[in-house]
A and B are shown apart, each in its own frame.
Chain A
Amino acid sequence: MISKQNRVRILGGVYTKFQKSLPKSIREVTFEVFKEALKDAGIQKEDIDGLYVTPPGLAGPPSFMHACELIEYLGLSTKTLSMIECGGCTSAIAMRAAAEDILSGRINTACVIALDWRAADIPEDFEYFLKYAVLMQTCLYGVYDAPYGIGAPIPYYAMSAQRYMYEFNVPYEKIANVAVVLRKHAERNPLAEYRTSITVEDVKSSRELSPPLRLLDCSPFSSGAGCIIFGKDDGKKDGVYITGCGEFHHSSHFINSAESITRFISVRKAAQQAYELSGKKPQELDVAEIYGVFTATELMILEGLGLAEEGKAWVGFEDGSWTYGGKTVVDPSGGRLSLGHPAAVTPLAEMVEVYGHLSEKWGERNVKNAKTGLVHAEHGMLNGGIVFILERD
């Protein structure tokens, strides 16, 4: 297992600018990130002996041979090959599998490619679209929830946000401020989708989608891609390593019938295991990228990770703790809200982002003296989660 004693080295990685649609075709974008990641890692294509990819987006029919045709397209021959899917955790699970295949000795150098194309325009054939939409919503949200018109996870998260405000007496302004701080981070990141400064007033007056959530409380449906390359721990200094990984999946999907929808077992357990295996404590984190698809959720994740007490994570967004110059820079990329959220890519982009700060790749916007970082991903409504600890040696 990935741990302090069994580290995996991050050799290089890139992610594209996130935007509404992919600028080129799936294959073309895949090739671009692949080539750039190889360059960033300073290795040759022939060095890669494991390839891990993710399903190419919700916009289009699924393919169970996506990995198989990509390996031909990219001109690779490898010892491991797979396409991996796990809802929002998709590329995180792909990265964990890639890293642990290296630790098992099966491969030496793993390449993980993620791509997502989410914001599809409604096709001209509305009848076809409607048929597809009905089937899709039932497939995603199940036969007991879909009939209530669920078309996106927003209403579930809205109810979680409502309970959070109710259980911990957190006023909406404190939650809205999360979007303001993350947008400030995005202002520094040329890869972010939304970079125009906003205020709490802007959030409060943005269109209400599913109360209490408003447009600016929510991450956009974005498209983008990324590629990250892992290698063995060769003991070389001045490298960035994954030194711990925790993971937990609860037997629930979206609404947790028996448990809380504001305090999440999966976040706590995944974080606990990651801290144990890496020997690190939450207070030691210099930078963190977390899967907060909504403002209120960002707060609940920080609390589950042990960075703040229950109901108190908002304080760090007001007193500077979670931004540059503070205790832990949370989502320097701009986060899901402002960087953009091509769900299948998000965990991989989070890892590339944190890797960048630990290896000082981001220039002006680099977090200073970043030695320890955390990456978090989830699926459903935090029913499952995975946490990685990254360290600079």
Chain B
Amino acid sequence: MELSEIIKSYTQKALEHYGDSATKKFYEFLSNKEFKTTKCKKCEKPFFPPRPFCPHCLGEDIEWVDMPKKGKLYAFTQQERSLRFGKPDVIGIVELEGIGKILTRINAPFESLKIGMELHLDFIDVGGLILHQFTP
């Protein structure tokens, strides 16, 4: 098998094996350029990562809601070696209002970034998978 094919198919295997039904939906939404997470109808609080149950009350009355399309850059770095991306690749933590901090890819050169920058939601196709990323 070609190496990129291996990464593609084993990523799918891994997401299925180590994820849950919410994982499947999360990535399905991303493939439609939708950035959503789960919200507990009882607690009225969205939470990330998404789950098919509420981590606060363990209730299963869950709905999917849009996450903010804008966020603030909390921290960032560059990976020397990384599977799926060439080097150098910038990843960072973005603060999303009402959600908290999440890990994402930052689509900008490392040197151009500063903590506190306003970023907006974008998407990237890494071959067999669409991921969220953020751009200044």
Contacts and interface: CB of A to CB of B under 8 A. Distances in A.
Contact of B93 (A130, A159, A208, A258): A159
A258 B96 CA distance: 11
Contact of B76 (A142, A150, A159): A159
Interface string A204-236: 000011111100000000000000000000000
B52 to A, nearest CB: 13
Given A134-B11, A135-B10, A159-B92, A257 B78 contact: no
A257 B102 contact: yes
A85 B15 CA distance: 23
**A interface residue count range (under 10 / 10 to 19 / 20 to 34 / 35 or more):** 35 or more
A261 interface: yes
Contacts of A211: 77-78, 110
A166 interface: yes
B115 A143 contact: no
Given A134-B6, A159-B77, A257 B18 contact: no
A5 B89 CA distance: 54
A253 to B, nearest CB: 10
27 contacts: A131-B10, A134-B10, A138-B17, A138-B18, A139-B18, A143-B14, A143-B18, A144-B48, A148-B131, A151-B83, A155-B79, A155-B91, A159-B75, A159-B77, A159-B93, A160-B75, A163-B75, A163-B115, A208-B80, A210-B77, A211-B77, A211-B110, A212-B77, A251-B55, A255-B93, A257-B100, A261-B75
Interface residues of B, number: 45
Contacts of A209: 80
A146 B14 contact: yes
Contacts of B93: 159, 255, 261
- Chain B interface SS verdict (over half): mixed
Nearest to B110: A211
A252 to B, nearest CB: 10
Interface in B1-49: 1, 3, 6-7, 10-11, 13-15, 17-19, 23, 26, 48-49
Contacts of A147: 11, 15, 84, 126, 129, 131
Given A143-B18, A144-B102, A257-B48, 7 more contacts: A134-B10, A135-B10, A139-B14, A144-B23, A163-B75, A210-B80, A211-B77
B117 interface: no
Contacts of A256: 101
A42 interface: no
Contact of B77 (A130, A134, A158, A255): A158
Interface string A290-307: 000000000000000000
Interface of B: 1, 3, 6-7, 10-11, 13-15, 17-19, 23, 26, 48-49, 55, 74-85, 89, 91-93, 99-105, 110, 115, 126, 129, 131
B117 to A, nearest CB: 13
A149 B80 contact: no
B83 A162 contact: no
A142 B18 contact: yes
B101 A143 contact: no
B89 to A, nearest CB: 6
B75 A134 contact: no
A163 B100 contact: no
Nearest to A128: B6
A148 B17 contact: no
B75 A149 contact: no
Given A151-B82, A159-B92, A257-B101, A134 B15 contact: no
Given A143-B14, A143-B19, A143-B23, A149 B6 contact: no
A155 B106 CA distance: 13
Contacts of A134: 6-7, 10-11, 13-14, 83
Nearest to A152: B81
